[in-house]
Amino acid sequence: PAFEDNADQAEKIWTFCRKCEELDPRGAEGNELDEFKAHILLEQLIGAVTVTDMRKALRDVDVDFNKMVSLTEFLVYHYKVKWEELVHAPQGSDEDQAKLVEAQQAVEESQRAQEESTEQLRIARENEEASRQAAKEAAAAADKARDAEAEAKAHEESAKASEAAAKASEETAIEQETQAKASEAAALEAEAVAVKEETEAKDAEAKAVASEELAVEAESKAKNAEAEATAAEQDAVKEEADAIAKEGVAAKAEDEQRKAEAAVQSAVEAIKAEETAFKNQCDKLRGISEDESAGAVKRGTAANELAQLLVKDPMPLQRARILEEAALRKQTKLTQAAAEARDVARVAAESAKTQRAK
Per-residue pLDDT at 134: 85
Q: Which of 209, 266, 246 is nearest to 343 (CA)?
A: 246
The most distant pair of C-alpha atoms in the chain lies apart, rounded to whole Å, by: 181
| DSSP line for 93-116 | -HHHHHHHHHHHHHHHHHHHHHHH
pLDDT for the residue 21: 92
**Which run of H or E residues covers position 4?**
none
Lowest mean pLDDT across 27-41, 42-56, 225-239: 225-239
* Banded model confidence at residue 18, pLDDT cuts 50, 70, 90: very high
Instruction: Report CA 236 to chain centroid distance, whole Å.
Output: 89
Distance CA 236, CA 224 (A): 18
24 vs 78, residue with greater confidence? 24
Can you tell me the distance from the alpha carbon of 55 to that of 36, in angstroms, rounded to the nearest whole number? 10
Choose between 34 and 50: higher pLDDT.
34
Q: Give tens-digit pLDDT for 59-68.
A: 776 667 777 8
Q: Which amino acid is at 187?
A: A
91 DSSP 8-state letter: -
Three-class SS state of 33: strand
The pLDDT of residue 147 is: 92
Quote the pLDDT of residue 283. Answer: 92
Identify the CATH homologous superfamily for domain 7-93+123-162: EF-hand (1.10.238.10)
Comparing 50 with 167, which gets the higher pLDDT? 167
Query: For residues 316 and 198, is the Cβ–Cβ distance under 8 A?
Result: yes
Supply the pLDDT for residue 20.
92
| Closest listed residue to residue 217, CA positions, set 268, 264, 267 | 264
Q: How far apart are CA 167 and CA 161, in angstroms?
A: 10
- Reference 77, options 50, 34, 41; nearest CA is 41
- Domain ranges for the chain: 7-93+123-162, 181-357
Q: How confident is the model over 330-357, as pLDDT tens digits?
A: 888 888 888 888 888 888 888 888 887 7
- pTM equals 0.27
Q: What is the pLDDT of residue 110?
A: 83
**Residues 266-313: pLDDT tens digits?**
877 888 888 888 889 889 989 998 888 888 899 999 999 988 888 776
Among 326, 215, 307, 322, which residue's Cα sits nearest to residue 272? 322
Mean pLDDT over the full length of the chain: 82
Q: What is the pLDDT of residue 93?
A: 55
Confidence grade of residue 23 (pLDDT, cut at 50, 70, 90): very high
| Range 101-106 average pLDDT | 80
pLDDT class of 128 with cuts at 50, 70, 90: confident
Higher per-residue confidence, 243 vs 38: 38
Residue 197 has pLDDT above 80, yes or no: yes
pLDDT one-digit tens code per residue, 210-253: 878 887 897 888 788 778 767 766 775 677 777 688 878 777 87
Mean pLDDT of 115-127: 86
